[in-house]
Structure 1
């Protein structure tokens, strides 16, 4: 005997209601694991992702963070892109987490980010967020080619030459979009430095693929045509293919054709380091290119926006760098030296202050793997929450490089100032980033004057973006 259609429909509706209720109950119970901080998990799966991504047209802390810090304190729970998350602006807790790298926590990002940069890629036996010996060896390789010893050699002067060439080209144009042109400059430089890639003569505009990849890093991991994540996967594959071709060329080249760069070094280490594979090297190089592509241009454009708005700071910066050039001429040095770079404290204060106000990533992310009671949860150490803390930085939204003269660095760095992470896994490219910004500013402010054409609006999405670009002439 057949059930009437109405009864079948009512039965299905009841099952759906029960399933949804069970799903929500399970989701809410998930938030009670361990001694979690207060907060809201939002809707099942979506969580509070929509609120997290609402753009904020301000240099200030994004409303998502600011409202919850005010309501729950500097430590709160939430759910982003399907993941349970604890967000922290607490300096002591952040320092503790950073020191637990490889013990109670591991480097981690949300699903889309992890899949795009090799933290959660099925065909990689060793992940790009590996700890212990693997991380130490990779750090050694990076520092060997981009660290302070290389900067003391020829690297600082190479940065100077690239900057002079780039700015000379800018001066011939009606106006330039600083963020776009800086990103292009950085890619040309770092791709040449790391793997001998000649961006000038490649005939391909791979910088657009980096922009697309960046747009998908914090998106929902939905691989459907038209979504940011789908577009990012397409761009990721193009970039990986470019790097694969360079690796294949280098591995097929005769021994006497060695360039002595990062790629040669890491390929040579494949003979003695079992964790190194061509797939792993491909992802590592992509991650290095991506990191420099975003961090340095964002800091440079932020510095130029702030200097444009603060002429007194600009004049102080010009004065220090003109004195440095005068001393260079007296010494007979042909280009910038390590000693000169380190003898410009105000310039470095400008860089530090620009990094602080930029806070260009949502935060430093770790995942609890043991001991910490939130096993499996992602922990976001909020950069902007620390960098704009009014208890540490008087008038935190003001651009005031001089504040660094009296700063208690032992207390601030690593607790309230983490542009390069910290603990057991600080960014190996930190000194390279600071040096590139400092050299660029020296050439720019001593040889050129500029006026703003348009743009320059700061938007946090939660990545820092420049609304309308920043066009100058």
Structure 2
């Protein structure tokens, strides 16, 4: 072998050694202790491909289920280039959700961050991310609660919500069939857009926002043809819409409505973090979150109700009693009536339990966290696997069965630690009461005045965000 051959041989050995070193470092990350069991997958992409494989089942996503069975309730992995620990341990998850600002901070994958990260430059010229500053989150959450929280529902929203549901059902009953997910998304999107920002969206705008939601957990590869690229295009549309609405309202103060948009503009006068960019992203994120989970929950409820005539019969009994006890039959649902819908709320909770729109709740460790003899290093992402909690056979008997009656006997401590459709701790979703009320009011009118039958579809797919395959089509008839 000549000098050139020796040199090439040495270079090859060096390259192979470097690759081996990098791979070894990837598979065995630095840790001041013992990492949870699991696999980091391939360098850079980790186990992202396995994570994104669709599943045609309502069950726990296979990615989480197989690894939990192999490694236990807490395991490590890597998703979209980030080191991650996934947990289905109820006690640990409950603890983590109470540690906001102490051990963890709100967090999400890069694709999610680039699509809805609510950040901007405050008047001090420094970046102020909503996701990592507690007092800003509290301020924004209180604003949302003032618009769609329990008090707002009781005082002013419930009649408008009921009118929206009534009009939608009348319209749907004239159609040969309709795709429940698309139809409910459109109705809820239009209602929340008007409620929060005082505008009536163009036709099919809800579909474009739904597409954004579908891409929240896609691999953040921004090249033409990818899901993420299409999501970013729709995101730009959404941001422009929010910017135009804000500019229009600012230019016409006489159109003051006291809605969320007005609260945003008022806040910009007093809060240093509330820049134009921040406000636009906040509006966009809240509108995106306000309809997708609700429409998916309502669709899933109808999928199961179509297959469960005994549940429908029990609902009919409850709502018939409400109508019989109502002083004015033509009157609307009162707050007292809504709060009396006990079985209806069991149906709502059962739908939310089985839904699990996304793969989990995300937090990032801001300190090393010690659990069950393992260490989760600072900077790692923690994914609280809602599906593994809410479909756990040790907690819920026959968890894949739609059984609203189970909620009569569940202990409060079990519910607190194993039923978290809206998150938990200081970050619990401000739209929880709004979501439950809308489903209950919708079911009241559907059950009382209409019948329906399945036309086609209803296949449930997790990818990992839940979807309904080619749709769920029904025919609604007035009684």
- TM-score, structure 2 as length reference: 0.93
Please state if 1:388 is matched with 2:383: no
The Cα shift of 1:9 comes to 5.9
Conserved in 2, the CA contact under 8 Å of 1:324 and 1:340?
Answer: yes
Q: Deviations over 1:241-262 (max 9, x none)?
A: 00100000011113x3211111
CA contact (8 A) 2:121 2:128 kept: no
Q: Which residue of 2 aligns with 1:287?
A: 285
Aligned in 2, Cα 1:336/1:130: closer, same or farther, shift over 3 Å? Answer: farther
For 2:411 and 2:42, how far apart are their aligned partners in 1? 43
2:343 aligned with 1:346, yes or no? yes
Q: 1:163 aligns with which of 165, 183, 192?
A: 165
Q: Is the 8 A contact 2:47 2:78 kept in 1?
A: yes
Offset of residue 332 of structure 1? 6.9
Tell me, yes or no, if structure 1 residue 436 matches structure 2 residue 438.
yes
Q: Corresponding residue for 1:278?
A: 276
Deviations for 1:259-296, whole angstroms, at most 9, x for unmatched residues? Answer: 11110012112111111112111111111111122100
Deviation of 1:132 after TM superposition, in Å, equals: 2.1
Q: 1:378 aligns with which of 381, 401, 410?
A: 381
Report deviation, 1:13.
4.1
Is contact 2:209–2:234 with CA below 8 Å preserved after alignment? Answer: yes
CA offsets, 1:437-462, max 9 Å, x none? 11111111111111101111111111
Q: Which residue of 2 aligns with 1:366?
A: 363
Deviations 1:288-328 (A, max 9, x none): 11112210011001000100111001110111112112222
Counterpart among 239, 255, 258 of residue 256 in structure 2:
258
How much has 1:10 moved relative to structure 2? Answer: 5.0
CA shift, 1:331, in A, is 5.5
Cα contact 1:114–1:120 (8 A) shared by 2: no
Distance 1:120 1:30, change over 3 A: farther
- Contact 2:119/2:127, CA 8 A, preserved across alignment: no
**Bigger shift: residues 126-135 or 35-44:** 126-135
Q: In the aligned structure 2, how far is the partner of 1:31 from the partner of 1:405?
A: 47
State how 1:152-191 maps to structure 2 within 5 Å: 152-191=154-193
Aligned partners of 2:212, 2:11: CA distance in 1, in Å?
A: 42
Q: Which residue of 2 aligns with 1:457?
A: 459
State the Cα distance separating 1:17 from its structure 2 match. Answer: 2.3
Return the alpha-carbon distance in structure 1 between the equivalents of residues 191 and 81 of structure 2: 37
Q: Paired residue for 1:399?
A: 402
Partner SS for 1:361: coil
Which residue does 1:150 correspond to in 2? 152
CA–CA separation in structure 2 for the residues paired with 1:457 and 1:131: 40
Q: 2:373 — aligned with what?
A: none
Contact map agreement 1:190 1:292 (CA 8 A) in 2? yes
Q: Deviations over 1:335-360 (max 9, x none)?
A: 11111110010000000000001111
Q: Which residue of 1 aligns with 2:98?
A: 99
Deviations 1:201-246 (A, max 9, x none): x4x5322321221222111111111111111111111100001000
Residue of structure 1 equivalent to 2:89: 90
In structure 2, list runs of 5 or more residues that go unmatched: 370-375
Structure 1 pair 27–435 and aligned structure 2 pair: CA distance change class (3 A): same
Residues 15 and 95 of structure 1: CA distance in aligned 2, closer, same or farther (over 3 Å): same
Alignment-derived partner of residue 414 in structure 1: 416
Structure-2 separation of matches of 1:332 and 1:146:
27
Q: Is the 8 A contact 2:208 2:234 kept in 1?
A: yes
Written as runs of structure 1 = structure 2, the 5 A alignment for 1:292-307 is 292-307=290-305
Deviation at 1:425, TM superposition (A): 1.4
CA RMSD of aligned residues (A): 2.0
Distance 2:293 2:169 in 1: 19
Residue 35 of structure 1: how far off its partner (Å): 3.0
Q: TM-score, normalised by structure 1?
A: 0.94
Q: Does 1:336 align with 2:333?
A: yes
- Any conservation in 1 of the 2:368–2:378 contact (CA below 8 Å)? yes
- Quote the residue 1:192 is aligned against: 194
Given that 1:31 and 1:41 are in contact with CA atoms closer than 8 Å, whether structure 2 keeps it comes out as: no
